[in-house]
Structure 1
Amino acid sequence: MTQAPLPDLVLEPMVRAALLEDLGTNGDITTRTVIPAGTTYAARLNAREAAVVSGMQVARLAFRLMDADLQLNTRIDDGQPCRKGDTLMEIRGSAASILSAERVALNFAGRLTGVATQTAALVAETRGTRARITCTRKTTPGLRIVEKQAVLHGGGFNHRHSLSDAILIKDNHIAAAGGIAPVLAATRAQASHMIKVEIEVDTLDQLTEVLKVGGADVVLLDNMDPAMLREAVSMIDGRMLAEASGNVTRETVAAISSTGVDYISSGALTHSYRTIDLGLDFG
């Protein structure tokens, strides 16, 4: 899926921090020792397996921050599929600069391509249904913005980016607040009209209470099997959006999407993805 890129200004602090971490206190001593000053080279960032690409914008930024004079040509953009052996990016210029930025660029690109590829696999299983695949806040600390962008590149959608985006009432909120009725009453009394409210339920009895009390825009149907989800969707009858969560895998997602839910959220998109094998080849 083609997505407008984020401003480099937003991503730069994260990429700069990764470069500084890798350069340490004395820079790339290997490259400085063995590469003669002024050596130039051409390199290719290649895919070593088929995938859905993400992280090209971040990789470009890593190379540019290391050396603004590097010539970069992205061959396959974020959100596009690639095959094994495809060249995703060409880099020309200082060999020392390319080598010093290589690991940071590959770390980001491999991981984000993994997120996009896993997302695309789940999205493919829901085709023909109304369900949208969405991520959660179960992201790598410090990498949320790019992991969530990678979900978009894979054809998915984003849930909350932070605690300040929307009100999401979970089971512990309900327990601490004294029940479903009190917690929904509090949101009606205090929440801005611009803020959406979602509440989690584990049983159909809880859903019945939510429907009776009112005040929520979305209901999170947690760890329900497809039969229960189908009954829950029938009970909701369009009065709220229905989101399914829990035990979402490539093997289960088709059955979940067939129940009529509007959204299927999966923390695994950003906490249990497999890094895709990408490599930087000289010559």
Structure 2
Amino acid sequence: MYISDETIDRFVKEDVPYIDLTTLVLEIGERKGKIKFFSREDAVLCGIEEAVKIFNKLNINVIKTRTSGSIIKKNEIFLEGEGTAENLHTAWKISQNILDYSSGIATKTKTLVDKVHNINPNISVITTRKNIPGTKELSIKAVIAGGGFPHRLGLSETILIFKQHLNFLGGINGLIEILRKTKSKVCEKKVIVEVEDLEDALLLCKNGVDGLQFDKIPYDILKKNVDILRTVNPSIIILAAGGINENNIEYYAQTGIDSIVTTSVYYAKPIDISCKIEPF
């Protein structure tokens, strides 16, 4: 995933708006040293390419690196570089924060994906657009590194009809009246509708909708709904969303749905990434 130099520059400028005052007053800025990053726990690594970009911008010579999506072991050194003390200290916390946050999301995503794929490898784990503002690029990259996919990258790319849309159409019946026309406008895309009960789902299923997203439906009820809907239209796409996390995702994976939608990975515990900076 491409993250622009402009974004990287913003990260650096945010943390070092003018100077590194501590390094300056200690008069150690021009001394040569080495920086090493390692994890205090097993993890799925993510954010490494962004850390390397920071190194390059600060004239830190990269000695060792891995790639996002790599499995790293506790105490394994995965990034190492050489440069001046001033530049090493500038790169330190910015890189560490990116690695902490991104690797946390990637690791949690992989945990969910593994749980689901142990039950059904054909179910995808996809993430909502409810990411923390300002973190979208890093969080989406981390989801992909962990084996998941983004559900919607934004309003411009998919058609997902919510109750809030239906309120302007007169409900499900109003949507059905214009469904054929709606689909003709976006013939290369799927039209998905979020539903909360079987009655609406059946009505839409019988009238040509491409997919249904069940929101906040208990997994036992969802399974019964899926079985009924598959008898009406075996090829309809069925997704489940709302409150799905590592504690219940395996139950949802047993319902026969095509995809599980989750927000939980965006609030993953950061991985405990550590750093050593030493002089030559």
Question: C-alpha deviations, 1:2-35, integer Å up to 9, x for none?
Answer: xxxx23xx432222112111112x2211122224
Aligned residue for 1:36? Answer: 28
- Say which of 241, 244, 250 aligns to 2:240: 244
- Tell me the distance in 2 between the aligned counterparts of 1:194 and 1:131: 22
Does the CA-based 8 Å contact 1:112-1:147 persist in structure 2?
yes
Deviation at 1:36, TM superposition (A): 2.9
Mean CA deviation greater in 103-112 or 13-22: 13-22
Change (3 A) 1:105 1:185: farther
- Give 2:202's aligned amino acid: T
- Give structure 1 stretches of 5+ with no counterpart: 1-5
Query: Are the structure 2 counterparts of residues 219 and 30 from structure 1 closer, same or farther at C-alpha, using a change threshold of 3 Å?
Result: same
2:65 paired with 1:79: no
Equivalent AA in structure 1 for residue 44 of structure 2 = V
RMSD (Å) for aligned C-alpha atoms: 1.7
* CA distance in structure 2 between the aligned counterparts of 1:37 and 1:56, rounded to whole angstroms: 25
Q: Which residue of 2 aligns with 1:203?
A: 197
Measured after TM superposition, the shift of residue 39 of structure 1 is 1.1
Following superposition, the deviation at residue 185 of structure 1 comes to 4.3
Which residue of 2 is the match for residue 3 of structure 1? Answer: none
**TM-score of the pair, normalised by structure 2:** 0.91
Is 1:22 the counterpart of 2:18 in the alignment? no
Out of 251, 254, 262, the residue aligned to residue 255 of structure 1 is 251
User: Percent same amino acid at aligned positions?
Assistant: 25
Of 256, 263, 270, the residue aligned with 1:267 is: 263
Work out the CA distance in 1 between the residues paired with 2:176 and 2:98. Answer: 41
Moved more, 241-250 or 188-197: 188-197
Distance of 1:74 and 1:156 partners within structure 2:
27
Shift of 1:133: 0.8
For the residue of structure 2 that corresponds to 1:250, the secondary structure is: coil
Query: Structure 2 CA distance, aligned partners of 1:106 and 1:232?
Result: 46
Letter aligned with residue 262 of structure 2: S
Amino acid at match of 1:95: A
- Asked if the contact 2:45/2:67 (under 8 Å) is kept, the reply is yes
Mean Cα deviation higher: 95-104 or 30-39: 30-39
Query: CA distance change for structure 1 residues 164 and 185 in 2, over 3 Å: closer, same or farther?
Result: farther
Counterpart residue type for residue 224 of structure 1: I
Query: How far off is 1:120 after superposition?
Result: 0.9
> 1:74 and 1:152 mapped to 2: Cα distance?
23
Count of residues in correspondence between the two structures: 271
TM-superposed deviation, 1:263: 0.4
